[in-house]
Amino acid sequence: MNLTDKWAKFVQKMNSQGIPLPTARDPKTGAGSVTFTLVAVSGGMCMVSILIMLGTCVAKLKSDFTLNAETATQIHDAFMSSLEFLGMSLGAYLGRKMQKDPNGGVSLDGQSSTDSK
């Protein structure tokens, strides 16, 4: 039993007990995808940290908020962590279908490297 089957079984079990575990639908396949869900969540985390940075800049310009070094460091660290999470999620999402064929080429979604030429 592979990871996808285990995840689907887990989701069915939780849904039957009344605990929904939604996954985002992959635009390519139309099915729920764990890796695409991670990309969506990490992208949202990046957007939230960017909005917080913009909000603090606007508040500082209005003189409603004083941005000290500790607060700036915390916002920067939060953004960098969410950016790292986005990078790892994108790597997992884009690399999940990559396979090496016997000729040494890389194929995507079952297509050989000569099919795309």
117 pLDDT more than 70: no
Contact status, residue 24 vs residue 33, Cβ threshold 8 Å = yes
pLDDT of residue 109: 61
5 found inside a domain: no
21 pLDDT more than 70: no
Q: Which percentage of the chain shows pLDDT scores above 70?
A: 85
58 pLDDT more than 50: yes
Domain around 72: 45-94
CA distance 32 to 30: 7
Q: 92-101, pLDDT tens digit by residue?
A: 888 877 777 7
Report how many domains make up the chain: 1
77 found inside a domain: yes
Q: Quick one: how far is CA 111 from the chain centroid?
A: 25
CA distance 81 to 76: 9
Q: For the residues 71-89, what does the mean pLDDT come to?
A: 89
49 found inside a domain: yes
25 found inside a domain: no
- Of 76 and 16, the one with more pLDDT: 76
69 found inside a domain: yes
